[in-house]
Chains A and B, each alone.
Chain A
Amino acid sequence: MKRVKQQDVFAERRPVKAAPDAKQLRKMAGDWLKQRRADAEMSQADLAARLGLKYYTFISQVENGFSRVPIEIMGAWASELGLEQAAFARHLLMYYEPELYRLLFGAESK
């Protein structure tokens, strides 16, 4: 599996400053996840199998921006993509809970 430099991976595709709505942000998160999966040279079906999902449809649901990565499998999702779990969760929080992200890491992220 191809591993990607984490620093570069988490540095790109920050959400735009003009507060987009939840749907747009989920879509951006989905695009980022899709890119990370592509970097890991995995198909949606591969990732689903590694996460123990019967069908790969949920991976598509998340990558299309209609659902979030559930917290229960966030760590495993990160590991399967070859990413550091905390950095992965922090990056997704930026899309899923932008205000919480700003409160927690606002100063550092700028």
Chain B
Amino acid sequence: MSVVAFERKQDSGEWSDKELRALVAAFGAALAPGTGREWETGMTERGDAQFYLLSPLPDQACELCVSRIGGRYVLEDGLGRLLFEHRNLELVGLHAKAAVPSTSWLMVRAITLWCAIRNTMHERFEPLLVEGEELFVQFVPQLAAFA
């Protein structure tokens, strides 16, 4: 008889390697080099594991926190607001990824990109529009005369 070994889900104690890998992967973009963010783990007094996503220096405050309580994963922000909870860590990871605060660095990149697009549009399409307007002004009286 062959016995299939099911992986037993951890309910308390420190993070397993698998859980940590899942969390770090979920926060992959937020933890990318250049963001300045770091992560740390901790424990509650009851021995439940916590994972903290920390903001860049100098503050290094908790932006998001994932805790495991009795096999349930709880996602909170740095102000203690409950954002999501589920037994599936991957699902919690998806919500965590979406909840990462956008940094000013990302905002600057987005604004720069928007300005570049606007500038290109202005340079490429404005002459065409002006030309079209001039043609329109020239031809409208003639078309009106024919009508």
- Chain A positions within 8 Å of B, measured between CB atoms, are 21-23, 26, 43-45, 53-58, 60-62, 64, 66-68, 70
Contacts and interface: CB of A to CB of B under 8 A. Distances in A.
Contacts of B43: 60
Contact of B62 (A21, A53, A66): A66
Given A22-B60, A44-B44, A45-B46, 8 more contacts: A55-B76, A55-B82, A57-B48, A58-B65, A60-B48, A61-B76, A64-B42, A66-B52
B79 A67 contact: yes
A23 B58 CA distance: 8
Contact of A44 (B45, B58, B65, B74): B45
A76 B1 CA distance: 60
B123 interface: no
A57 B74 CA distance: 9
A28 to B, nearest CB: 14
A77 to B, nearest CB: 11
Nearest to B48: A57
A3 B50 CA distance: 30
A7 to B, nearest CB: 27
Contact of A58 (B40, B42, B45, B76): B76
Contacts of B44: 44, 56-57, 60
B101 interface: no
A66 B65 contact: yes
B78 interface: yes
Interface in B43-77: 43-46, 48, 50, 52, 54, 58-62, 65, 67, 69, 74, 76
Contacts of B78: 61, 66-67
B52 A61 contact: yes
B80 interface: yes
Given A64-B42, A67-B78, A57 B60 contact: no
| Residue of B45, B59, B65, B78 contacting most chain A CB atoms (<10 Å) | B45
Interface string B31-49: 0000000001011111010
A67 B62 contact: yes
A55 B58 contact: no
A60 B42 contact: yes
B58 A57 contact: no
